[in-house]
Amino acid sequence: MTLPASPVWFITGCSTGFGRDLARLVLDRGWRAVVTARDADRVADLVEGHDDTALALALDVNDQAQVEAAVAAAKAKFGQIDVLVNNAGYGYQATAEEGDEAEIRAQFDTNVFGLFAITRAVLPIMRAQGSGNIVNFTSVAGLIGFPGSGYYAASKHAVEGWSDSLLAEVGPLGIGVTCVEPGPFRTDWAGRSLRQTPSQIADYADTAGARMAGTKDVSGTQAGDPVRAGEAIIAAVGQDVTPRHLVLGAFGYEAVTAKLRERLAAIEAARDISLGADFPADAT
């Protein structure tokens, strides 16, 4: 969808990282933005000097009352929402066997159910407009499962599958859906937004254990530039046909395309077995 001259962006999770940099880019263009974080004080500096074009709101996507209030406030101030960016979320690492039930459910509450809730609240506005874009931050882990990140990958895979169905429903209404799938980027995600249940099982030491141990060591050295990522998102959303997938960074692009080729080859290799599951063509 081509963006209007002064689009309204509603961005979750703006206290740090991708959300913060994207909000700054949007406002620097003179566009309008609803900038949200669980603590509104963390985004006060972003909206300073933008009284007419910015609105800072406290928003915990797990709080349905806050979700509804934030969307209502956005509509009251700007009358429209052109781009919803579902960026709020965090990572959790554990082996599949040692995952903590409370941690797993908490992650799904934020990464999946919170994203669902804010999207449901915004959709009536976009339907009335007959236009809009929904940008869901997933991850390379939304398309690939890495050792030690099974539950995180599951939360992101869930959003990817849901986004396919969402696009099938709202695409005919003029609403685009894009999943942003970053690889490693130089944000403070590993230090601020990553929880872990360290593995105590020796059998996983060389797989999940090694990956979890090294995750925080690379923080600050990743190749991905979050500001350039924001520019890429703006460019993608401004296209006449919004891409369904936006993989960001060379690592992510190479890993995802290799995985998709591998997956297709595996499906095709089992073709005869797959097709043999149908009733015979001459069956009565």
Instruction: Give the pLDDT of residue 194.
Output: 87
Residue 239 lies in a domain: yes
Cβ atoms 89, 108 nearer than 8 A: no
Residue 208 lies in a domain: yes
Instruction: Give the pLDDT of residue 189.
Output: 59
Instruction: Give the pLDDT of residue 2.
Output: 72
Q: Give the number of other Cβ atoms within 10 Å of residue 276's Cβ.
A: 9
Measured distance CA(44)–CA(37) in Å, rounded? 10
Instruction: Give the pLDDT of residue 219.
Output: 65
Domain harbouring 20, CATH code = 3.40.50.720
Residue 269 lies in a domain: yes
Helix (H, G, I), strand (E, B) or coil at 148: coil
Instruction: Give the pLDDT of residue 138.
Output: 97
Residue 40 lies in a domain: yes
Q: Is 152 a catalytic residue?
A: yes
Alpha helix segments (H runs only) across 132-209:
150-170, 189-192
Domain that holds residue 255: 8-275
Number of domains in the chain: 1
Instruction: Give the pLDDT of residue 192.
Output: 64
Catalytic residue among 92, 151, 152, 204: 152
Instruction: Give the pLDDT of residue 16.
Output: 87
Residue 280 lies in a domain: no
The residue among 100, 199, 82 whose CA lies nearest residue 152 is: 100
Residue 282 lies in a domain: no
Measured distance CA(233)–CA(226) in Å, rounded? 10
Instruction: Give the pLDDT of residue 225.
Output: 86
Measured distance CA(176)–CA(233) in Å, rounded? 13
pLDDT tens per residue, range 188-231: 655 567 899 999 999 999 999 999 887 766 666 677 789 999 99
Instruction: Give the pLDDT of residue 190.
Output: 58
Residue 250 lies in a domain: yes
Intervals of the chain under pLDDT 70: 1, 188-192, 216-221, 284
Residue 2 lies in a domain: no
Instruction: Give the pLDDT of residue 106.
Output: 97
Query: Look-up: residue for tokens 């944000």?
Result: 187
